[in-house]
Amino acid sequence: MLSFFKDYKLFAIVFVVISIIIIGIIYNTLNVYQPLPVYQPSMVSTELVDSTLQYKKKYHKIADFSLINQNGKTITQKDYENKIYVADFFFTTCPTICPIMTKNMTLIQKEILNDDEVMLLSHSVTPEIDTVAQLKKYAIKKGVNDKKWNLVTGDKKQIYALARKSYLAVKDNGDGGPFDIIHTENFMLIDKKRQIRGFYDGTNTEEIKRLLDDITILKEEYNQ
């Protein structure tokens, strides 16, 4: 009888050890790191992409740029070098989705305020209205932190080219004009290689949470 219990005890120990190993394998399998996709023009709705790029399947990056921020400083891709950043397109006199987008961008700013890896970049689609003075007034009103978030204006042609050829973020209004677009609620997550890693509805708080989660995932990518 004593021998039986000794054998049972040995079996129980082996069973527990094997169970722990199996559970560990299952846990690790279910929690395998999944990198964010790298978006190419061919993966995005054609209405948001310039016709010259709609079938491009690889090597897409944000183009070089030179724009002016709310402090009158020239901002280029160098200011975002080795940074993760969130970009959008807006205008200060927009009465509909822009105030919501700006409010949600402010929430993101709060979360990344002490994170040196992450920045924000908002492009005006009405640069003829959004002068440096206008952007500064708007920035102060909305609580923009100059060290984290640039509101930029500049050459309309360059901004619109960035919108449709780089960020794949706005719609053509369909009238055939080269500089008339309908800006969307899209926020774009850009990685340190200037690649698009996510699109989010900037008016939706659940999407903002997803964006913040994706920033964490993207940072993990650089720590692998």
- Asked if residue 9 belongs to a known ligand binding site, the reply is no
Is the pLDDT at 167 greater than 80? The verdict is yes
Residue 183 pLDDT: 77
Q: Which of 1-5, 36-40, 41-45 is predicted least confidently?
A: 1-5
pLDDT mean across residues, the chain: 88
pLDDT, tens digit, 9 for 90 and up, residues 51-87: 899 999 999 999 999 999 999 999 999 999 999 999 9
pLDDT of residue 173: 60
The pLDDT value given to residue 224: 78
* Other residues' Cβ atoms within 10 Å of the Cβ of residue 2: 6
Mean pLDDT score, 121-137: 97
pLDDT of amino acid 28? 46
Query: Across-strand partners of 88?
Result: 122
The answer to whether the annotation marks 215 as part of a ligand binding site is no
Residue 93 one-letter amino acid = T
Share of the chain above pLDDT 70, in %: 81
Q: What whole-number distance in Å separates Cα of residue 85 and Cα of residue 99?
A: 20
State how far the alpha carbon of 100 is from the alpha carbons of 25, 64, 186, 198, in Å: 44, 28, 12, 19
* Annotated domain spans of the chain: 1-29, 43-223
User: pTM here?
Assistant: 0.83
Give the chain's count of helices (H) and strands (E). 5, 9
Check residue 5 and give its pLDDT: 46
Residue-wise burial string across 178-203, b where 16 or more C-beta atoms lie within 10 A, e elsewhere = eeebebbbbbbbbbbebbbbbbbbbb
- Is 183 labeled as ligand-binding? yes
Task: Please tell me the distance from the alpha carbon of residue 134 to that of residue 127, in angstroms, as a whole number.
Answer: 10
Q: What CATH topology corresponds to 43-223?
A: Glutaredoxin (3.40.30)
